[in-house]
Structure 1
Amino acid sequence: MRRRNVLMAGFGLGGLVVLALVVLAGGVFRLPGQRPAGATLVSPAPSAVPSPSIPASPDGNAVSASPPPVAAGPGARAGAALIYDPEDHGVLLFGGAASVTTPDGHNPSITLGDTWLWDGRSWRQLDVQGPGARSAAMVAYDSVRHVVVLFGGSGPGGVGQGLYFQDTWTWDGVQWQLRHPAHMPNPRMRAGMAFDEHHGVIVMFGGEGETTTYTATWTWDGVDWTLLDPTTTPPARRFFGMAYDMARGVTVLFGGSFGAARLNDTWTWDGTDWTRQPVAAPSARGWTQLAYDGRTRDIVGYVYFASDSEPLAEYTVVWDGTKWTDRTGAQDPTPRAEVRMTYDPDTGQVVLYGPTSETWIWDGTAWAWWEPAAVT
Structure 2
Amino acid sequence: MKTLLCRYTAATLMWSVQLGFSQTEEPDLPYSSGSTGADGAFAPPASMPNRYNFAFAYDSAREEAVVFGGYDRGQSVSWLSGTIRNSGYKPETYTFDGTEWTLRQTDTFVSARYEVEMAYDPERQQCVMFGGLRADGTTLDDTWTWDGNDWNKEEPATTPPARHHHQMIWDSSNNRVLLFGGRSDSGWLSDIWTWDGTNWSQIATTNTPGSSASQQSYGQVVWDSTQNRAVYYNEYYRETYSFDGQAWTEIETANSPNTGIGGRMAYDPLNEEIVWQGGTSSGQTWVFKNNEWSQKNPQNPDHDREYAGMVWDNGNERVLLFGGDTGSGDFQNTSAWDGTNWTQLTGRVYRFDMSAKPDGIWNFTSINIPEWVAVYFDRNAANSPVTWLATEKVTINGRIYLNGETGPDNDLSGRVALGGPGGYDGGLGGVRFDISGRYAGTPGQGPGGGEAPTEERQTGGHGQYTGVYGNTLVQPLIGGSGGGGGSASSNANGGNGGGGGGAILIASSRDIEINGGIQANGGNRSYGGASYGGYGAGGAIRLIADRLIGTGHLEAEGPSSGGEGRIRMEGYYRPLAPNASPVPSATAPVESIDFSNQPALSVISVAGENVAQPPSGSLSSPDVIFTEAGPVSITVQGQNIPQGTPVSVRITSNEGIIELPSGDDPVVSLNASGTATFNTVVPKGTGTIQAFAEFTLTP
TM-score by length of 2: 0.40
Find out whether 1:289 has 2:264 as its counterpart.
yes
What residue is the counterpart of 1:150 in the other structure? Answer: 129
Aligned twin of 2:68: 94
* Deviation, structure 1 residue 208: 1.6
Q: Deviations over 1:260-301 (max 9, x none)?
A: xx2211111111111111222414353331111122121111
Report the Cα distance in structure 2 between the residues aligned to 1:178 and 1:143, rounded to whole angstroms: 18
Shift of 1:107: 8.9
Structure 1 segment 78-157 matched on structure 2, within 5 A: 78-100=52-74, 109-128=87-106, 129-156=108-135
Work out whether 1:364 is the aligned partner of 2:319: no
Q: How does 1:280-319 map to 2 (within 5 A)?
A: 280-285=254-259, 286-304=261-279, 306=280, 312-319=281-288
**SS of residue in 2 equivalent to 1:357:** coil
Residue 368 and residue 104 in structure 1: after superposition, are their counterparts in 2 closer, same or farther (change >3 A)?
A: closer
Q: What CA distance in whole angstroms lies between the structure 2 residues aligned with 1:299 and 1:234? A: 19
Q: Residues 76-115 of structure 1: CA distance to partner in whole angstroms, max 9, x if unpaired?
A: 1111211110232111111111123577779963111111
The yes-or-no answer on 1:237 pairing with 2:219 is: no
Which residues of 2 match residues 40-55 of structure 1 at below 5 A?
47=43
Counterpart amino acid of residue 237 in structure 1: Q
Give the aligned partner of residue 317 of structure 2. 348
C-alpha distance in 2, partners of 1:243/1:124?
26
Distance in 2 between residues matched to 1:327 and 1:228, nearest whole Å: 36
Query: Partner amino acid for 2:313?
Result: D
Quote how far apart the aligned CAs of 1:313 are: 2.2
Query: Could you say which residue in structure 1 is the equivalent of 2:195?
Result: 220
SS in 2 for 1:207: strand
Q: How far is the alpha carbon of 1:363 from its aligned partner?
A: 0.8
Equivalent residues in 2 for 1:12-27, closer than 5 Å: none
Q: Could you tell me which residue of structure 1 aligns to residue 140 of structure 2? A: 165
- Going from structure 1 to structure 2, the CA distance change for 1:230 and 1:110 (only over 3 Å counts) comes to same
CA offsets 1:122-175 (integer angstroms, 9 cap, x no match):
11121113421112211111122221111111123xxxx732111111112222
Q: Give deviations 1:335-361, integer Å, cap 9, x for gaps.
A: 111111001111111111113111111
What CA distance in whole angstroms lies between the structure 2 residues aligned with 1:244 and 1:233? 17
Deviation at 1:320, TM superposition (A): 1.5
State the Cα distance separating 1:331 from its structure 2 match. Answer: 2.1
Q: Partner of 2:242: helix, strand, or coil? A: strand
Partner of 1:186: 161
Deviations 1:221-275 (A, max 9, x none): 111111222121113323411110111110111123xxxxx22111111111111
Inter-partner Cα distance in structure 2 for 1:144 and 1:180: 19
Within the candidate set 240, 247, 263, 2:226 is matched to: 247
Determine the C-alpha separation between the residues in 1 that align with 2:165 and 2:86. Answer: 22
> 1:340·1:353 contact (CA, 8 Å) conserved in 2?
yes
The amino acid that maps onto 2:101 is W
SS of the equivalent of 1:263 reads coil
Q: 2-side partners of 1:106 and 1:145: how far apart?
A: 39
Which residue matches 1:337? Answer: 306
Identity of aligned residues (%): 27
The letter for the 2-side match of 1:146 is Q
Kept after mapping to 2: 8 A contact 1:162/1:210:
no
Structure 2 CA distance for partners of 1:46 and 1:205, relative to 1, 3 Å = farther
Output the TM-score relative to the length of structure 1: 0.73
Whole-Å Cα distance in 2 between the matches of residues 225 and 328 of structure 1? 41
Instruction: Mark the CA change 1:118 to 1:168 in structure 2 (over 3 Å): closer, same or farther.
Output: same
* Deviation string, structure 1 residues 5-27 (Cα, Å, up to 9, x no partner): xxxxxxxxxxxxxxxxxxxxxxx
Q: How does 1:64-75 map to 2 (within 5 A)?
A: 72-75=46-49
Question: Compared with structure 1, are the counterparts of its residues 317 and 125 closer, same or farther at alpha carbon in structure 2 (3 Å cutoff)?
Answer: same
Structure-2 residue corresponding to 1:201: 176
Letter in 2 for 1:126: R
CA distance in 2, matches of 1:280, 1:223: 42
The secondary structure found in structure 2 opposite 1:202 is: strand
Q: Deviations over 1:156-196 (max 9, x none)?
A: 3xxxx732111111112222111111111111111111111
What residue ranges of structure 2 are gaps of 5+ in the alignment?
A: 1-15, 19-40, 325-330, 353-368, 370-393, 395-699
- Deviation, structure 1 residue 303: 3.6
Question: How far did residue 117 of structure 1 move?
Answer: 1.2
Q: Is the 8 A contact 1:292 1:298 kept in 2?
A: yes
Q: Aligned partners of 1:316, 1:108: CA distance in 2, in Å? A: 32
Aligned partner of 1:18 in structure 2 is none
Could you say what secondary structure the match of 2:158 adopts? coil
Among 227, 249, 253, the residue aligned to 1:279: 253
User: What SS does structure 1 have at the residue aligned with 2:189?
Assistant: coil
Q: Please state how far the C-alpha of 1:212 moved relative to its aligned partner.
A: 0.3
CA distance in 1, matches of 2:346, 2:241: 36
- Check conservation: 2:286, 2:293, Cα contact below 8 A: yes
Between the two structures, name the one with larger relative contact order (CA 8 Å, sep ≥ 6): 1
Kept after mapping to 2: 8 A contact 1:78/1:338: yes
Q: Distance in 2 between matches of 1:191 and 1:78?
A: 15
Q: CA deviation at 1:332?
A: 2.0
Count matched residues.
298
Contact 2:130 2:143 survives alignment (8 Å): yes
Check 1:279–1:101 CA distance in 2 against 1; reply closer, same or farther (3 A cut): closer
**Contact residue 322 and residue 335 of structure 2 kept, 8 A:** yes
Specify every segment of 5 or more residues in structure 1 that has no aligned partner in the other structure, as ranges: 1-30, 34-44, 49-70, 257-261, 307-311
Supply the distance in 2 between the matched residues of 1:353 and 1:106 (Cα, whole angstroms).
21
SS in 2 for 1:87: coil
- Identify the structure with the greater strand proportion: 1
The structure with the larger Rg is 2
Determine if the alignment matches structure 1 residue 326 to structure 2 residue 295.
Answer: yes
